[in-house]
Amino acid sequence: FRSAAALDVDAVLVTPRCADPLYRRAVRVSMGTVFQVPWVRLEHWTADLQEVKDAGFLTAALALSDDAVTVDELAAEHPEKLALILGTEGQGLSAATLHHAERHVIIPMSHGVDSLNVAAASAVAFWETRPRG
């Protein structure tokens, strides 16, 4: 939520199994930004993801997959409406989520590092895909 607020993300959608953003520790870690960024808990994740797509959003899952494009390539597409999908730090995104996402996206890494934690990855992705005008 802190990265979303700092980098002007319009809203955050959380899945049914996501931790409570209003949990005391989550509020503290977010520096209270959970109260600044609109958010909603989705009840039926893959069905709700289809609604996001039906509303005109390009859905892009940050995932290590063979057919992934780089976040720079995604940004170069200049999608008018973009929904970035981030998973847990341990398990990542489910196979069903990856199946329903229109793009798979990676952040290129150096020195044999394969991924960042979700907070760092979200900040990089939010920055790189921000509207430029």
Question: pTM for the complete prediction?
Answer: 0.92
Across 100-108, average pLDDT: 96
The residue extents of the domains of the chain are 2-128
pLDDT tens sequence across 2-48: 999 999 999 999 998 888 999 999 999 999 999 999 999 999 988 99
Give the span between the Cα atoms of 106 and 89, in whole angstroms. Answer: 14
pLDDT tens sequence across 64-83: 999 999 999 999 999 999 99
Q: Give the pLDDT of residue 46.
A: 87
Mean pLDDT of the chain: 93
Q: Give the pLDDT of residue 133.
A: 67
Give the span between the Cα atoms of 18 and 109, in whole angstroms. Answer: 27
State the DSSP code for 92.
Answer: B
Q: Give the pLDDT of residue 131.
A: 85
Q: Give the pLDDT of residue 125.
A: 97
- Assess whether pLDDT exceeds 70 at residue 91: yes
Angle at 13 between CA 123 and CA 107, to 5 degrees: 30
The CATH class given to the 2-128 domain equals alpha beta
Give the span between the Cα atoms of 74 and 24, in whole angstroms. Answer: 35
- Assess whether pLDDT exceeds 70 at residue 59: yes
Q: Which long-range contacts (CB under 8 A, 24 or more apart) does 4-9 make?
A: 4/33, 4/37, 4/122, 4/126, 5/30, 5/33, 5/36, 5/37, 6/33, 6/123, 7/123, 7/126, 7/127, 7/130, 8/130, 9/37, 9/126
Q: Give the pLDDT of residue 90.
A: 75
